[in-house]
């Protein structure tokens, strides 16, 4: 057992040759040793995709939704389709080898591999999660930042890879540094023509009366796995759910707002652009209790 577990995939995709003929499909390796070539396109160009899967009480959450999104991202990037059976087995393996911890986070990564080699690189690792108790209980402060393209970029400019979960995360890290400079914890992106999109690592969820809503589809944003699970729970607990294209002003008028993600779960937004925002503490507690108790 270990606090950090890493497995390498011998053949991440059935559409490409294995790295070693006849070798095991997955191999446990020492995470403290180097395993990635400096020539891998993940290192030289950030050319790859990933998924983050939360684990609580030894159970991974929304695995099938994450695997579907991994395959969707691969298709957008013209990567070979991931062999979902071997990726699922890799996820199960790292969980089985992990020391018991309250919460952990799995990263499943697939890259285009070494340029010209035509064999993608794949690995899965898991480690204990940071402590998100304060964000869940007391909320977060967000600023709204222009993402720099229109809300319809997914349709007009598919080469920008909107809606894919790629390794190219320099912008996502830069906006968090900007949030810190503005005395905030996180960011909600806004399209250049004025519509709410998503956070750099989270989906936007908001309540209006008895409805739980998220920004509309077709906006070049990720299909949120945590948001999807919350919608399923909400529908079983008397809430209306749906998608809505809205402006920052309309979001500010919502009864409650959250950023939801696999690691932090549901973090209520208590401040937007320096202005206090109401927090629904009771509903937040219910949502997070459900998210932490999921069996799949």
Residue 214 has pLDDT above 80, yes or no: yes
The candidate with the shortest Cα–Cα distance to 177, out of 134, 131, 150, 143, is 143
pLDDT 10s digits, 96-138: 999 999 999 999 999 999 999 999 999 999 999 999 999 999 9
| Residue 295 binned pLDDT confidence (cut-offs 50, 70, 90) | confident
| Residue 56 binned pLDDT confidence (cut-offs 50, 70, 90) | very high
CA–CA separation, 207 and 257 (whole Å): 6
Query: In the 8-state DSSP scheme, what is residue 212?
Result: E
Domains and CATH numbers, the chain: 5-128 (3.30.470.10), 133-293 (3.20.10.10)
pLDDT, the chain, mean: 96
Helix 63-76 with 225-236: angle, nearest 10 deg: 140
> What pLDDT is recorded for position 1?
55
Percent pLDDT > 70 in the chain is: 99
Asked if 250 contacts 257 with a C-beta cutoff of 8 angstroms, the reply is no
Residue 45 has pLDDT above 90, yes or no: yes
Cα angle: 138, vertex 52, 61; to 5 degrees: 80
Query: In the 8-state DSSP scheme, what is residue 166?
Result: B
Asked if 222 contacts 186 with a C-beta cutoff of 8 angstroms, the reply is no
> What pLDDT is recorded for position 174?
97
CA–CA separation, 8 and 34 (whole Å): 12
pLDDT 10s digits, 130-180: 999 999 999 999 999 999 999 999 999 999 999 999 999 999 999 999 999
CA–CA separation, 250 and 184 (whole Å): 20
Residue 70 burial by CB count (10 A; 0-12/13-18/19+): exposed, middle or buried?
buried
> What pLDDT is recorded for position 217?
84
pLDDT 10s digits, 237-285: 999 999 999 999 999 999 999 999 999 999 999 999 999 999 999 999 9
Asked if 259 contacts 142 with a C-beta cutoff of 8 angstroms, the reply is yes
Query: Regarding beta strands 26-29 and 5-9, do their DSSP bridges make them parallel or antiparallel, or are they unpaired?
Result: antiparallel
Q: Which residues of 217-227 are buried (b: 16+ CB within 10 A; e: fewer)?
A: eebbbbebbbb
CA–CA separation, 264 and 27 (whole Å): 29
> What pLDDT is recorded for position 16?
97
The candidate with the shortest Cα–Cα distance to 260, out of 192, 213, 296, 295, is 213
Asked if 203 contacts 222 with a C-beta cutoff of 8 angstroms, the reply is yes
Mean pLDDT of all residues in 192-204: 97
Asked if 165 contacts 154 with a C-beta cutoff of 8 angstroms, the reply is no
The candidate with the shortest Cα–Cα distance to 139, out of 283, 289, 281, 248, is 281
Sequential DSSP letters for 74-102: HHHTTPPPP-HHHHHHHHHHHHHHBPP-S
Asked if 70 contacts 110 with a C-beta cutoff of 8 angstroms, the reply is yes
Q: Which helix (H) or strand (E) holds 153?
A: helix 153-156
């Amino acid at each position: 057992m270990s606090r950090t577990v890493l497995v390498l995939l011998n053949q991440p995709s059935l559409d490409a040759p294995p790295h070693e003929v006849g070798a095991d499909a997955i191999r446990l390796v020492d995470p403290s040793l180097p395993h990635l070539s400096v020539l891998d396109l993940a290192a030289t160009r950030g050319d790859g995709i990933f998924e983050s899967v939360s684990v609580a009480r030894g159970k991974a959450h929304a695995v099938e939704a994450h695997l579907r999104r991994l395959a969707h991202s691969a298709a957008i990037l013209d990567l070979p389709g991931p062999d979902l059976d071997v990726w699922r087995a890799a996820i199960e393996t790292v969980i089985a080898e992990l020391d018991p911890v309250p919460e952990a986070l799995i990263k499943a990564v697939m890259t285009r591999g070494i340029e010209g080699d035509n064999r993608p690189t794949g690995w899965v690792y898991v480690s204990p999660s940071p402590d998100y108790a304060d964000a869940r209980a007391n909320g977060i402060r967000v600023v709204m930042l222009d993402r720099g393209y229109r809300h319809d970029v997914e349709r007009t400019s598919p080469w920008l890879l909107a809606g894919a979960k790629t390794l190219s995360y320099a912008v996502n890290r830069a906006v968090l540094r900007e949030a810190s400079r503005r005395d905030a914890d996180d960011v909600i992106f806004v399209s250049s023509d004025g519509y709410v999109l998503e956070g750099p690592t989270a989906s936007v969820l908001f309540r209006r009366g008895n409805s739980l809503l998220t920004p509309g589809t077709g906006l070049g944003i990720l299909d949120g796995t945590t948001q999807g699970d919350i919608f399923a729970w909400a529908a079983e607990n008397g809430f209306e759910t749906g998608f809505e294209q809205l402006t920052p002003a309309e979001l500010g008028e919502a009864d409650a707002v959250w950023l939801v993600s696999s690691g932090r779960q549901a973090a209520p937004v208590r401040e937007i652009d320096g202005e206090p925002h109401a927090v629904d503490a009771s509903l937040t507690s219910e949502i997070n209790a459900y998210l932490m108790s999921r069996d799949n």
